[in-house]
């Protein structure tokens, strides 16, 4: 185990440049080993096999022409084949007497050796396929030779016999020539492979090294770092991905700063007010029940504001930690929507807001009721906060084949196109929010987290100056 760990850490310490270079060299070595093995070890076998095949082909040609050609033509064919294939050819009649004879080999195994040719003829007759292939050494020259023999005409009643003799000599010298040639080529190619691989490994590693340097800068918090991925597709993709990560990091960083600024601002104001009104009660209005109640009311409202902020942060961190499990229950959606709208009765009556509810047939849905309640509550709360001067909010339930579509519409200023993709992000709050708009910038992030956890579709349609419609679909 320890050894593996060591090996791994050693492996990850080798620079990419060196690794690529090493693989190139390894590849070159493998290629050369294969080349040498094939050339030197198998050349002889390959050569012999080829010679045997050539002899068999030649024999077939001769035996096919034996009956069809006239004597002159046949003799010409024999001498042509003998010259072309470096052969010694002997055609014998059925009694073993020589009919035709061609010799380009000089010292061969068949010419002028009737005793031996007779033995070969007997071997041909005895063999199953009426054919012999012998590899033998010429006793005088000590060269390796191939002797090929077959019948002419009908194998059961042969018209005659054909004997071919080819030399297997050149292999030894060829091998040594090839060896020398290979050595030169090998040395030359190894040097070239060495240089090319060095060059290539540098080219391949360069963008990675460059990107790593930029990534180090990014890690230190420099969000203006540029990633240069020029080189090849993968390095370009890596650079693009890092640029995207950088943009996201920078955005989250700015948002986090904004949140801290927003949250501390939102905390400071109610806390100051709490302190001020508590002091007022202590010093001034303690004995005046009307004033005291008024001040206490403000203290209660501010405490609510604080509790809202703290709860939102807590809920979101729970949802995003992934530890939050859904607890699905079945309930009627229309009833639930009316119930939530009723909760806004106080504020709508006090401040003149009207929430219009258009229900559809009450269907049963199955989801985490507490969390979905929070989604609907946040959407209506936002609609009230951001609706126009007419203070109208519309809540609609529309039953569809895929589920229940819930829409919350307001008549406010609407949201700019480029802001739409940001509003569901954590900590995002429009810069121009007013103090009377109670919010933490976390409401829609909670909506998004809950709907994602349920795997429900959601979105927003908005027209500048006319209002926005937030929607989601509870799957049925």
Residues forming the site for ligand ADP (CB under 6 A): 382-383, 385-386, 410, 412, 415, 423, 428-430, 433, 439-445, 468
> Structure tokens of 354?
């009207």
Least distance (Å) from ligand ADP to the CB of residue 365? 23
How far apart are the C-alpha atoms of 445 and 10, rounded to whole Å? 45
Beta bridge partners of 146: 135, 166
Question: What is the number of other CB atoms lying within 10 angstroms of the CB of residue 414?
Answer: 21
**Of the two residues 130 and 433, which places its CB atom closer to ligand ADP in the complex?**
433
Nearer to ligand ADP, 148 or 386 (CB): 386
Cβ contacts of 423 within 8 Å, gap of 6 or more? 415, 444, 460
Among 345, 334, 314, 415, smallest CA distance to 376 is for 334
Output the smallest distance, CB 392 to ligand ADP, in A.
12
Which C-beta is closer to ligand ADP: that of 119 or that of 351? 351
Judged by beta carbon, residue 120 or residue 458, the one nearer ligand ADP is 458
Question: What are the CA-CA distances from residue 261 to residues 162, 311, 441 (Å)?
Answer: 106, 18, 12
What's the token pair of residue 184?
């030169």
Shortest reach from residue 445's CB to ligand ADP, in Å: 6
What DSSP assignment string belongs to 269-285? HHHHHHHHHHHHHHHTG
| Least Å from the CB of residue 301 to ligand ADP | 17
Distance CA 111, CA 119 (A): 13
Tell me the C-alpha to C-alpha distance, in Å, between residue 93 and each of 79, 104, 157.
18, 21, 12
Instruction: Give the span between the Cα atoms of 355 and 210, in whole angstroms.
Output: 58
Nearer to ligand ADP, 139 or 352 (CB): 352
CA quadruple 234, 236, 242, 244: dihedral sign: negative
CA–CA distance, 5 with 11 (Å, rounded to integer): 10
Which CB, 81 or 410, lies closer to ligand ADP?
A: 410
Nearer to ligand ADP, 159 or 258 (CB): 258
* CB closest to ligand ADP, residue no: 439
Quick one: 52 or 308, whose CB is closer to ligand ADP?
308
Closer Cβ to ligand ADP, 125 or 310, answer by number:
310
> From the CB of 279, what's the least distance to ligand ADP, in Å?
29
What CA–CA distance (Å, rounded) separates 379 from 471? 9
Least Cβ distance, residue 298 to ligand ADP (angstroms): 21
Q: Which helix or strand (DSSP H or E) is residue 103 part of?
A: strand 98-103
Which of 402, 383, 403 lies closest to 393, judged by CA? 383
Nearest residue (CB) to ligand ADP, 165 versus 462: 462
- Is residue 320 classed exposed, middle or buried when 0-12, 13-18 and 19+ CB atoms within 10 A define those classes? middle
**What is the enclosing helix (H) or strand (E) of 164?**
strand 160-167
């Amino acid at each position: 185990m320890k050894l593996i760990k060591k090996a791994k850490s050693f492996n990850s310490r080798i620079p990419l440049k060196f690794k690529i270079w090493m693989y190139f060299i390894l590849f070159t070595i493998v290629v050369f080993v294969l080349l040498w093995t094939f050339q030197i070890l198998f050349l002889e076998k390959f050569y012999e096999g080829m010679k045997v095949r050539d002899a068999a082909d030649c024999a077939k040609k001769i035996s096919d022409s034996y009956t069809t050609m006239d004597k002159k033509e046949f003799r010409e064919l024999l001498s042509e084949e003998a010259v072309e294939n470096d052969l010694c050819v002997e055609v014998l009649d059925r009694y073993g007497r020589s009919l035709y004879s061609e010799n380009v080999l000089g010292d061969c195994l068949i010419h002028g050796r009737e005793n031996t040719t007779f033995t070969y003829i007997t071997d041909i007759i005895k063999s199953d396929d009426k054919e012999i292939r012998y590899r033998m050494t010429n006793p005088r020259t000590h060269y390796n030779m191939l002797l090929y023999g077959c019948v002419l005409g009908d194998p059961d009643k042969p018209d005659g016999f054909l004997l071919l003799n080819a030399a297997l000599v050149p292999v030894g010298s060829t091998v040594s020539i090839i060896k020398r040639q290979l050595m030169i080529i090998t040395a030359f190619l190894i040097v070239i492979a060495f240089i090319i691989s060095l060059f290539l490994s540098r080219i391949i590693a360069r963008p990675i090294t460059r990107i790593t340097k930029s990534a180090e800068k990014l890690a230190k918090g420099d969000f203006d770092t540029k990633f240069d991925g020029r080189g090849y597709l993968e390095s370009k993709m890596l650079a693009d991905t890092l640029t995207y990560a950088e943009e996201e990091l920078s955005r989250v960083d700015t948002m986090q700063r904004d949140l801290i600024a927003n949250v501390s601002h939102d905390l400071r104001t109610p806390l100051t007010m709490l302190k001020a009104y508590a002091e007022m009660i202590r010093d001034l209005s303690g004995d005046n029940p009307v004033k005291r109640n008024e001040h206490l009311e403000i203290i209660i409202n501010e405490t609510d504001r604080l509790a809202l902020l703290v709860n939102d942060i807590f809920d979101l961190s729970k949802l995003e930690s992934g530890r939050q499990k859904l607890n699905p229950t079945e309930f009627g959606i229309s009833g639930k929507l009316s119930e939530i709208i009723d909760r806004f009765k106080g504020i709508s009556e006090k401040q003149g807001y009207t929430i219009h509810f258009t229900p559809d047939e009450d269907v049963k849905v199955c989801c985490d009721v507490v969390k979905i309640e929070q989604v609907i509550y946040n959407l209506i709360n936002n609609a009230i906060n951001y609706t126009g001067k007419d203070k109208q909010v519309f809540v609609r339930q529309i039953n569809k084949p895929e589920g229940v579509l819930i829409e919350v519409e307001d008549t406010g200023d609407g949201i700019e196109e480029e802001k739409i993709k940001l509003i569901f992000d954590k900590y995002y709050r429009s810069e121009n929010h007013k103090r009377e708009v109670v919010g933490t910038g976390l409401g829609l992030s909670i909506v998004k987290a809950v709907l994602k956890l349920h795997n429900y579709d959601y979105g927003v349609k908005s027209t500048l100056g006319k209002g926005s419609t937030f929607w989601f679909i509870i799957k049925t």
